[in-house]
Amino acid sequence: MDLTVFQNFIKRASNLRSLAGPVLIVMILAMMVLPLPPFLLDILFTFNIAIAVMVLLVSMNTTRALDFAAFPTILLITTLLRLSLNVASTRIVLLEGHTGPDAAGKVIESFGHFLVGGNYAVGIVVFAILVVINFVVITKGAGRIAEVGARFTLDAMPGKQMAIDADLNAGLIGEDVARKRRAEISQEADFYGAMDGASKFVRGDAVAGIIILLINIIGGLIVGVLQHNLDIATAAKYYTLLTIGDGLVAQIPALVISTAAGVVVSRVASDENIGQQLVGQLFKQPQIIMLTGAIIGMMGLIPGMPHVAFLSLAGAMAWLAYHLSQKSEKAAKLEQAEVVPLSMTESNDASWEDVAQVDVLGLEVGYRLITLVDKAQDGDLLRRIKGIRKKFTQDIGFLPPAVHIRDNLELRPNGYRITLKGVEVGSGESYPNLFLAINPGKVSGELPGTPTRDPAFGLPAVWIDGALRDQAQVMGYTVVDPGTVVATHLSHIINTQASQLLGRQEVQQLLDHLGKIAPKLTEDLVPKVLQLGTVQKVLQNLLDEGMHIRDMRTIVETLAENAPRIQDAFQLTGLVRVALGPAIVQQFYPTAQELEVIGMDKELEYILIQAMQSSHEGIGIEPGLADTVLRETRAAAQAQEQLGLPTVLLVPAQLRDLLARFLKRAVPQLRVISHDEIPDFKTIRVTATVGGRT
């Protein structure tokens, strides 16, 4: 019972929290209409100052602009609050100003006497200076930064989106993380756009403050002299001091809020807040501090200068520089002490332990890339490789072997190579302090840097400095960091070499995993009907043609049904493909009801079928005919790509296996499917035709 009451209380509190915004707006608007007593006005002015200080502190302790995404709305509400307080205080000043300087409350009186010493001329000057600082300097600069930030954020959105897609395809992030990062990009653009507009609120507030000041002074003199029979000097003293106090108590929070806006839009996103950034970057180099102290000290020795102030500050900066240099030396010595030299051990006699097994998957890096795989140096390549293996397992259907990473002094300092069973299958270079800007084909300009090619897909690219990253994204480049370059290349190799990674051990693990769900199914297949090697070959054939093997139940059921009469791995692969037809079609046409494919001329189909039947091994094709098929298939595939359609060739079932193997190397992007693999609920439209002449 007590728990239910507590839950109801929490629910009511949440509902009240959602009403806080509308209630606050209604109260602010009510203050413009309803008269307020001086005591309540003091409370509200104090609350306004507290809110301004709180906003400034929150803005200085955020690490990213989006951490304070509500700031544009807060800026509007605080501006509206100040204006409503100005209206309420103006009403009291004009109605009760003839009674004395405390007519509008103690807060306005304090600001009118304490801050400007009761001198309204000084108060007017101070008020004018605050307005100029707020309106001309801070607000104008923050507005300009927000305007430029919004423009560049919008221009950089396509590049950032492509970078997210690249990380997602490489397995570095999941779909949830990608969705979150896309939402953050959209929120960032909305934030800077809102800040660009919200800065106009502050500018309007400053203009309104000047107008209210003039209205209060002129109106107060008229009311005091004509209605309350005060002499001009007394009326000027009362009403001007009240007006100056009212203006200062509004302009100081406005200045604080404007400063907060400038802090939010002008900071560079990092893992540190403003204070940590200032201390960490401004006082990072002891030599700069020492040189500054020396300059200040020499200025202090000039006759007529305030020697105490200059020399004291110079001494303090010299002590700080010495302290920081000593701290840096201690850190360097400690780092050297942590380096443990490799101990030399006496060599023992040779044994079977000395026989080193070849790694199925290996990654060798040059010495400058060790930082990418060293967690102690913030290297995250190991984490990314784990993400690649996990995504591969989810997409393809089996767990790939672990990637063994080692350094290789024979490689270039920035070089790396990927090995499969000890043989190099990919290599490239990556520069830890640079970024790779990849040209996807539609960029608006060239970037200064080192031209190269993306090691994974061969696209033109350039290594650029980190300062050019945002500019490159605006120009349409896909910008990735050095770790992502290696990870993407490794992911591409793993996906293209999937069949080579599927060994007998992995096949047995797949069957054991399926056996936990359907034990009778796997028992009846291996080894009673089929050998493990035949099952492995069927799965490798599927992987060779870009198919996943996630649906092991359908694969094993098809093999168990046909294995008693067929033992050939290629024939079994064709039968499995027919059973997996809907999944194959969905892989190439995820949502399309009509399949736009490349067809084959009927006469050419007949000639190829006759050639197969007349050939002893079923794979003999006349060289002239083979050249014609190859040439026209390549042209049809290119035409299909230009239309933005999948490069899928539809052929009779008798020809599918022959043409798939024949065209695999010549047209690697082409996928060959048979009529038997098309589900009945799909329609077909031929957009290009391969026609042969004999």
Query: What is the per-residue pLDDT for 316?
Result: 84
Mean pLDDT of 611-616: 69
pLDDT at 436 > cutoff 90: yes
Instruction: Answer whether 425's CB lies under 8 Å from 418's CB.
Output: yes
* Pairing mode of beta strands 434-438, 423-429: unpaired
Q: 33 or 2: whose pLDDT is higher?
A: 33
What's the rounded Cα separation, in Å, for the pair 405 and 408? Answer: 10
Collapsing DSSP to helix, strand or coil, 445 comes out as coil
Query: What is the per-residue pLDDT for 7?
Result: 53
Q: Which residues neighbour 123 within 8 Å (Cβ) at sequence distance 6 or greater?
A: 112, 115, 116, 240, 241, 244, 245, 247, 248
Instruction: Answer whether 79's CB lies under 8 Å from 205's CB.
Output: yes
Kindly write down the DSSP assignment for every residue of 43-56, as one continuous string.
HHHHHHHHHHHHHH
Instruction: Answer whether 397's CB lies under 8 Å from 583's CB.
Output: no
What's the rounded Cα separation, in Å, for the pair 671 and 659? Answer: 10
Collapsing DSSP to helix, strand or coil, 505 comes out as helix
Q: What is the pTM of this model?
A: 0.57
Two tokens, residue 62: 């955020």
What's the rounded Cα separation, in Å, for the pair 458 and 441? Answer: 12
Query: What is the per-residue pLDDT for 57?
Result: 81
Note the pLDDT tens digit of each residue in 682-693: 999 999 899 754
Type of residue numbered 143: G
Query: What is the per-residue pLDDT for 365?
Result: 92
Note the pLDDT tens digit of each residue in 65-89: 777 777 778 878 888 888 888 788 7
CB atoms closer than 10 angstroms to residue 655: 20
Among candidates 637, 624, 609, 615, which has minimal Cα distance to 692? 624
Instruction: Answer whether 162's CB lies under 8 Å from 439's CB.
Output: no
If pLDDT is split at 50, 70 and 90, which confidence band does 526 have? confident
What's the rounded Cα separation, in Å, for the pair 329 and 254? Answer: 46
Helical (H) or strand (E) element with 686: strand 683-690
Instruction: Answer whether 363's CB lies under 8 Å from 403's CB.
Output: yes
Two tokens, residue 174: 């999941």
Note the pLDDT tens digit of each residue in 173-193: 777 777 888 788 777 777 777
Collapsing DSSP to helix, strand or coil, 558 comes out as helix
What's the rounded Cα separation, in Å, for the pair 473 and 437? Answer: 8
pLDDT at 618 > cutoff 80: no
Note the pLDDT tens digit of each residue in 388-428: 999 999 999 999 999 999 888 889 999 999 999 989 999 99
Query: What is the per-residue pLDDT for 693?
Result: 47
Residue 116 per-residue DSSP state: T
Query: What is the per-residue pLDDT for 352?
Result: 72
pLDDT at 346 > cutoff 60: no
Instruction: Answer whether 364's CB lies under 8 Å from 411's CB.
Output: yes
* Pairing mode of beta strands 460-465, 361-365: unpaired
Most trustworthy range by pLDDT among 203-207, 481-485, 515-519? 481-485
Could you tell me the strand order of the sheet in which 478-480 lies? 450-453, 460-465, 434-438, 478-480
Query: What is the per-residue pLDDT for 277?
Result: 58
> What is the three-state SS of 212-234?
HHHHHHHHHHHHHHHHCCCCHHH
Residue 294 per-residue DSSP state: H
pLDDT at 617 > cutoff 60: no
**Whose structure tokens read 């047995």?**
508
pLDDT at 537 > cutoff 70: yes
Note the pLDDT tens digit of each residue in 656-676: 988 888 888 888 889 999 999
What's the rounded Cα separation, in Å, for the pair 102 and 92? Answer: 11
pLDDT at 345 > cutoff 50: no
Instruction: Answer whether 189's CB lies under 8 Å from 150's CB.
Output: yes
pLDDT at 342 > cutoff 50: no
If pLDDT is split at 50, 70 and 90, which confidence band does 333 have? low
Rounded to 10°, the helix 120-132/175-222 angle is 150
SS3 content of the chain, % helix, strand, coil (to 5): 65, 10, 25
Mean pLDDT of 145-152: 70
Instruction: Answer whether 122's CB lies under 8 Å from 57's CB.
Output: no
Give the gyration radius of the chain's Cα atoms. Answer: 38
Instruction: Answer whether 441's CB lies under 8 Å from 520's CB.
Output: no
Calculate what percentage of the chain has a pLDDT beyond 70: 83
What's the rounded Cα separation, in Å, for the pair 428 and 424? Answer: 11
What's the rounded Cα separation, in Å, for the pair 541 and 559? Answer: 14
Query: What is the per-residue pLDDT for 434?
Result: 92
If pLDDT is split at 50, 70 and 90, which confidence band does 620 have? low
Instruction: Answer whether 482's CB lies under 8 Å from 372's CB.
Output: yes
User: How far apart are the two ends of the chain, measured CA to CA in Å?
Assistant: 88
Type of residue numbered 59: S
Note the pLDDT tens digit of each residue in 213-259: 777 777 877 877 777 777 777 776 677 777 777 777 777 787 787 77
Point out the least confidently predicted range of 124-138, 270-284, 296-310. Answer: 270-284
Two tokens, residue 273: 């807040």
What's the rounded Cα separation, in Å, for the pair 483 and 177? Answer: 18
Query: What is the per-residue pLDDT for 11?
Result: 55
Point out the least confidently predicted range of 101-105, 128-132, 649-653. Answer: 101-105
Two tokens, residue 12: 């009511």
Query: What is the per-residue pLDDT for 694?
Result: 37
